[in-house]
Amino acid sequence: MKGSDPVLRNRELSTLLDGLVGTDDRSFCVEEHTVPGKATATGDEDDESTDDTGGADAIVTAIVNAAQSPPFMTARRIVVVRDYEALPAGACAPIVDVIGDLLDTTDLVFVAGGGRVVKALGDALKGANVRGGTAEKINDVLQRELDRAGLSMKADAARTVAEHLGDDAGRLGGLVDLWASTYGGGHRLELDEVTPYLNESGAVRPYVLNNHIEAGDVASALEVLDRLLTVTSPTQPKPLHPLQVLGILSGRYRKLARLDSDTVVTVDDAHRVWGGKGSTFPAKKALDAARSLGPGGFAPAFDILHRADIQLKGASGLPEGTVLEIAVARLANLHRGGSGRGAGSARRPAGRSRS
């Protein structure tokens, strides 16, 4: 059971267990175990040794005993192991052995929690059926949930929902259930029917900020910046620090500057400089962004980033959020001025400043 969003992962687990349990009593049928984190097991979160079993032996023993026990008053026994990546290499052997010799009446379900799985356990699980992790993009999850509820949605409404929720796809299940209970199955949702239920904006990925800046869309870039600095989600439990955002922007412009050369003329040239692997789309997008700065556009861009850096580190009395807003607006205006293709207004959305 994989997936980076814990809400979606738990929903998928619940669906899987419903199918495995069937008509049996879940309280008798299902036994769950959560592997403690390595910091908890070893007592030292900086200890990276994968052979230190620490406190993991007890949980391994419990998992193995559960997996080897026949069902009691039910047709099957289902053992759920959460956060199995936290198991150290020295403690995994009994679990690896039991995976290869399960009772016919036992289902062993491993639920990912994030991190790297030790090789022996990873190899043992290669033949397992994998659920989840294949449809966590917001549009894919939205369509899946609408299909489940027997609903459909107009394109402008779906686009608004996706933009508003960003990476917070885990909220979709509850929203779709609410729409289904309000409007009934078979209904085609329109924009004005979904927007009253959306509430706060979801988290977004940093590349969305780059996209709006490079399109010259100041207003949208400032909105995304605010979400990066203030909004959390299950996949991003903490907002980004202003210096993290500045680091992302600086890294992007350093990469774009590699395309500011007389030898980079075509998309193929950009793809070669960009690394020459996979799709050419990222290289094409980067080349368009570099060209949108116009002649000599990188010098003022790096000047904006340098000025923001020293201001964030104490050279200005401005709030950190305001420093970044000014930098983002100026960068977006550089792209708009260089290409003439940008959209949006330079007006800063109200209430964005932070101290």
pLDDT of residue 98: 87
DSSP 171-216: GHHHHHHHHHHHH-TT-EE-HHHHGGG--SPPP--HHHHHHHHHTT
pLDDT in tens, 233-249: 666 678 889 999 999 99
pLDDT in tens, 17-47: 888 888 888 888 898 998 887 544 334 444 4
pLDDT of residue 182: 84
Please name the helix (run of DSSP H) or strand (run of DSSP E) that holds residue 111, with its range, or none. strand 106-111
Indicate the pLDDT class of residue 130, thresholds 50, 70 and 90. Answer: low
pLDDT in tens, 306-344: 999 999 988 877 889 999 999 999 999 999 875 433 333
What mean pLDDT do residues 111-117 have?
Answer: 79
Query: Is residue 53 over pLDDT 70?
Result: no
pLDDT above 70 as % of the chain: 83
- Rg of the Cα trace of the chain? 25
pTM (two decimals): 0.53
pLDDT of residue 41: 39
Query: Is residue 297 over pLDDT 60?
Result: yes
DSSP 278-340: S-SHHHHHHHHHHHHT-TT-HHHHHHHHHHHHHIIIII--S-HHHHHHHHHHHHHHHHHHHHS
Please name the helix (run of DSSP H) or strand (run of DSSP E) that holds residue 162, with its range, or none. helix 155-165
For the chain, domains (ranges, CATH) are 6-124 (3.40.50.300), 138-197 (1.10.8), 206-339 (1.20.272.10)
The one-letter amino acid code at 247 reads G
